[in-house]
Every structure is written in C-alpha cells, then in structure tokens.
Amino acid sequence: MIVSDAAGLLFVHVQKTGGVSVERWLQEVAPDARRVPGCDRHAGLRAILAAEPALTDHLVVGVVRNPWARLLSWHRMVRRWVSWVPEGEPLESLENFRGNAFARRVALELPDFEDFVMRGTTEIPRLRRPQVAYLEAPGRRADVVARQETLDDDLRVVAARCGLPPRTGERWNADDERVDHRRAYTPAMRDRVGEVFARDVATFGYEF
C-alpha cells in the first residue's frame, strides 16, 4: 500500500493487478508517499485502518483484475522467477524468493498451472481471497476501484481528484508476453476460479 497525506490518498495494493505500477507512480509524484508501519505491502483495507484509523478520511483507491487472468499472471510470475535462478543454485539465490515462503511453495509444489488453480486455491488462503475483500473494512469501502484492464484511464481520474500528475511510462512487473488466459484453463479449472472468486465476478461483472 501507499499513502500520501498531502494528496489525501490511500492506495490498497491487491496482488497481480498492476499495483507495482501504481506504487511507482505515487512514489514519483507524491513527495510524502509512505507505507503504514506494521502493515504488509498487500495488507487489506481492514488491516490498514486498524493500524492507522485516521486514514479512513483519505480517498481509498484499489485496482482489480479479471480473476482468471489474475491467477494465470500470478503463476507465470513465479515460473518466470524460477527461470532466472542460476542452474544448480537454490531458489533463495534469487532475491525474489528470499523471505517469500509463498513463492517458494508455488515454485516447488505447484509448478503446474492446473495444480496451482485446483490445489492452490484450496491449500493456500491468499490464493482464494476475493479481491473485493482487500477493499472493504467495517463501515468503509474503497472509493475508487480501478481495473487493470483500463488502468491508465482510471488512474487519470484518480490523479485529477487528488491534484497529482497523471501516470506516464511503461508498466512495472508486467508479463512481456501477451497470453489469452482462456487457453490455459480446462472447464474444471474455469469453474473452480468462478466458484472461488464468485464475489469478484458478481461485484465487478467479470466473465471468463
């Protein structure tokens, strides 16, 4: 997450939605950009407001993504990291895996995307947490929910509301290869994601 008190903005970073690009933009254009002490980078709104209740008055912004595309992107990211590990070296030789038990588990136990979807969403809580759950807290919800699919246009609206320069430049931490997520799914996998992320599908209108 990133906070700018001067801009009155709180950005809640949901994994694999383009959040790194948003964070980099805010760090560039908001001199007072900061994190909330004691909160994980991907902390949800509930945890953030529990740590710093005064932030409830800020404009709360989050980004969501098609859940089927999001899971594929998540798995491809970890597999990309694995390909960067020097041959014969342990995963921890790459900084991305150090201190990241989730990524190590996916790399070692769920290298196949079907297992990642079918087993991972059962065994690993963060893989089955709806995106909408990151963006809500008792008595408070995100004010602006941007979409990864229209990120630059949506961020221009946020920038205008907060008096910030719009985001420019390339996206960070993006997959260089354009992949049609629908080709990666069997019917059972498709239905599993639809079941796990039913709240996201209903709230944001996503379709396979």
The rounded distance, in Å, linking the Cα atoms of 199 and 17 is: 17
Q: CA dihedral defined by 90, 91, 96, 102, rounded to 10 degrees?
A: -140
Strand partners, 9: 4, 59
Secondary structure class of 51 (helix, strand, coil): helix
Exposure b/e, 127-156, CB count within 10 A at least 16 = b: bebbbbebbbbeeeebebbbbbeebeebbe
Q: In this predicted model, what pLDDT tens digit does every residue of 28-37 receive, in sequence order?
A: 999 999 999 9
Q: What six digits make up the tokens of 83?
A: 């390909």
The rounded distance, in Å, linking the Cα atoms of 143 and 129 is: 20
Q: What six digits make up the tokens of 201?
A: 């599908």
What pLDDT, on the 0 to 100 scale, is given for residue 182?
93
Distances (CA, A) of 170 to 63, 152, 176: 17, 10, 11
Name, in order, each residue with C-beta under 8 angstroms of 133's C-beta and a sequence gap of 6 or more.
44, 199
pLDDT 10s digit of each residue in the chain, 208 long?
999 999 999 999 999 999 999 999 999 999 999 999 999 999 999 999 999 999 999 999 999 999 999 999 999 999 999 999 999 999 999 999 999 999 999 999 999 999 999 999 999 999 999 999 999 999 999 999 999 999 999 999 999 999 999 988 666 555 667 789 999 999 999 999 999 999 999 999 999 9
What pLDDT, on the 0 to 100 scale, is given for residue 177?
76
pTM value is 0.91
